[in-house]
Structure 1
Amino acid sequence: MTDQLVEKLRKDRDLSDSELKALIEDPSHDAALTQAADEVRRQWYGDKVYLRGLIEFTSYCRNDCLYCGLRAGNKHAERYRLSKDEILSCCKEGYALGYRTFVLQGGEDPYYTDDMICDIVRSIKEKYPDCAVTLSIGEKSRKSYERYYEAGADRYLLRHETADPAHYSKLHPQNMSSENRKRCLWDLKEIGYQVGAGFMVGSPYQTTDNLIADLRFLQELQPDMIGIGPFITHQDTPFRDMPGGTLELSLRMLAILRLMFPYALLPSTTALGTIDPSGRELGLQSGGNVVMPNLSPVKVREKYAIYDNKICTGEESAQCRSCLEMRIKSAGYRAVTDRGDVKRSGSAVNTED
């Protein structure tokens, strides 16, 4: 029997708030949602899963977000910084493995000045001109974003975390604001980046209305990438005893996003694999089409502990390409390492291209 609500979302890429609420809260739609999301992602991207080489280059952060293990107030965190040469070494290894996108991610660390970031980006682009460089280093001024873009950065990831200002204030210190986070995203989009936003699923105090607000904000922004994942606690944060986000709701929201934003690049995140051994495969089957293996030096991976039990070795390793590719294949897809830029128009895709 056809699920009329799911089919309406697939056709219109939109629903009323009350219809979205029903879809988000009622698990009886899940099977139809998953099937529709997979069909739409295959229409736009075939069976391709894009691999991005992730380099977590600093675990220092000036912010004190209540949910994050890297928060400035966590005195138990093991901190590290990678040098430019270490970052370039990660890129060299990744390039040899076939990666054509490098994601430089870190806490908001003032040690890395704009000059340093621009020098690193410029050096990567000079050595690997056929590669895309993605930055994920938090809230900056528009001038800083412009400088990174001029240096050669192609993409920028900045999850908005929650679009509701009142909810945002419950997750962040007073010196941070939802308004400024959104300002950053609009600046990035206007400058010309491929922009990624996103939110936590099941974060403390989150309601269905909050999730709907997230979807409405994304409709306004129309980002190229949308990264979501379940909230996972960290023992050294004020939210250590809060319940975590569930796999079921995370997959449901991923499928909804695929139907609302069929063109988008949607990661199947490490967090999904942390809360369930098959989480990332299930994420791919719910509309995801990006996986980000870790290129960071093995010695620092466990130190980038944004939440407890984060996957940092074994099949998460970029070196274990065959392991990862087999898992992706087992889910019904094919790992590819090209740049994988966003597609803004959909058509039947040749899965062998």
Structure 2
Amino acid sequence: MTYNEITYPFDTRPGDGEVLEVSEGILWVRMPIPIPGLDYINLYLIEDEDGWTMVDSGLNTGEIRDHWRNIYEKYLKGKPITRMLCTHFHPDHMGQAGWVTYKWKIPLTMTFGEWTFGRMLYLEAQEETPDYVIDFYRSVGFSEAMLEKVRDRGFNNFRQAMSQVPMGFNRIEDGDSITIGKRDWQVIVGTGHSPEHACLYSASDGILISGDQVLPRITPHIGVYPAEPFANPLKKFMDSIEIFKQLPRDTLVLPAHNDVFYGLHNQLDFYQSHHEDRLNRLILACDTPQSAMDLLPVLFDRELNEKDKGLGIAEGLAHCHYLVVKGKLERVIGEDGIWKFQKSGARYKAVA
């Protein structure tokens, strides 16, 4: 089959603390997460001869640890966890990794970029929000009410969302091959959503464990944040689409959110058209200088609440920076000190 449309081969999902076998020796696990619109994360267990590999771990909550204990007791056939592999550093994926590696006395397996970023954010977490973070959000158009919330929450919540990130780790890189049981898994690194996101592909079975790099029903979040304020993550994400298009059309995709699906190329095509549409909208809207806040109604077809506005501005910046690098837009500073974006050629004070 060519799977020109998204199809879902399973008419059920695993319950909390339960598993569903999606292919021989591969168990699908779902864990609850308090993220509106997502609600659950998909995690996977792959059987090896002498144990199991965990792919991603869930948020650092007591509820999820209890679910894992239940799974360990009921479904592992008396074998231990022998490898903890995290696709990327986001807390819903890496949050329990420290607990898992300590419990089973195993190393954490990740790409260098993801482990480094996760450990850095964990170590730098602090109660008081640094001035440079406030300055960034003020520059991109946050209201005073939004800035106050940034101050109140402190500098990132990694200490709460993550168990202690291990000091050492086992590095994997793009193109590496990992043998688990009867399968060889190729590491395919995607970028844009996170610095060095690791996916696993089994050519023999046509299975891709895609993490957040490829998701059904939604587009992965691509945003610009204070740690790298002039980044161009959308360019990296669009380049990564071409990498995954090299995989067969009938690949079975095991994503981190929503449902296991067929239709990889259909979804990749959708990502391209979705982002190209947003880029075209921005070009048309930027005849005069526009802040990322001004551009929210251009990029999104629904009104965003205060929390979603922060994510929306991050995504808007990613699209604007893509066009700045392409030479389609210029980044300028308005009289109010806020970054503005306008079609190239206007005479305004440009920033780096």
Q: Flag the structure with larger Rg.
A: 2
Normalised TM-score (structure 1) = 0.29
- Higher strand fraction: Structure 1 or Structure 2? 2
- Higher helix fraction: Structure 1 or Structure 2? 1
Greater relative contact order: 1 or 2 (C-alpha under 8 angstroms, separation 6 or more)?
Answer: 1
